[in-house]
Amino acid sequence: MMSTPKLYSYWRSTASYRVRIALALKGIAYDYVPVNLLHGEQLEAPFKGINPQAQIPVLQIDDASLHQSLAILDYLEVTRPAPALLPADPVQASQARAFALSIAADIHPIQNLRVLKYLKREFDQEQPGIDAWARHWIALGFAACEDIAIQRKTAFLFSDAPGYAECVLIPQSYNAGRFGVDMTPFPALGDVIAACADHSAFQIAHPDVQPDAPEAG
């Protein structure tokens, strides 16, 4: 018998949040293994041995240990295709992946924890400068995402149900909130974000209700 999947996660981790949403959308139960990024647990044994990249998420499933959130989403889509995260049409599927990558590859990496710590340590930046850096890159990336959201003909970005693109958009919008990004220039994204907020999979995956969230009891 296969064991229950294990997700190495941190409540506020954007990349882990993507995987939590995907697992919830697909109805996959898992055990939550907290990795405290603020205490540097990602940099030490035993976690460092699990992912030499020293980053979460890691999903252990089907006797494999998987990392990189979008690679994990792809694995889940192939092995557990229903409900689908991607549109059946290959062009639309590619467009949904491109939307997700525009956030996961172009926005998030330049404002994640290790980059911001480096800016602070090596370039003597104070918190206001760090926050302005993050806001700049998020807003620039969201402007392009907004154009795509405006043109959509479906309730969510690429379908009438949330999927791959929303798994990445929602964590980044949570992150945008932490840095105080003004979302008023992005009303179409705002509509999608509001629709996701009403969806149970997104509620289950939300940082505030994770076992390692400070308020969690």
Ligand X SMILES: N[C@@H](CCC(=O)N[C@@H](CS)C(=O)NCC(=O)O)C(=O)O
Per CB under 6 A, residues contacting ligand X are: 13-15, 37, 42, 55-57, 68-70, 104, 112-114
Helix (H) or strand (E) holding 40: none
Which amino acid, one-letter code, is at 123?
A: F
CA pair distance 186, 167, nearest whole angstrom: 18
Tell me how far, at minimum, the Cβ of 56 lies from ligand X, in Å: 4
Identify which of residues 13 and 173 has a Cβ nearer to ligand X in the complex: 13
Identify which of residues 15 and 192 has a Cβ nearer to ligand X in the complex: 15
Tell me how far, at minimum, the Cβ of 193 lies from ligand X, in Å: 19
To the nearest 10°, report the CA torsion of 17, 109, 173, 202: -10
Tell me how far, at minimum, the Cβ of 70 lies from ligand X, in Å: 6
Give the CA distances from residue 113 to residues 60, 100, 207, in Å, rounded to whole numbers and listed in that order. 23, 20, 16
Kindly give the pairing relationship between strand 6-9 and strand 31-34: parallel
Identify which of residues 104 and 157 has a Cβ nearer to ligand X in the complex: 104
Tell me how far, at minimum, the Cβ of 55 lies from ligand X, in Å: 3
Identify which of residues 20 and 26 has a Cβ nearer to ligand X in the complex: 20
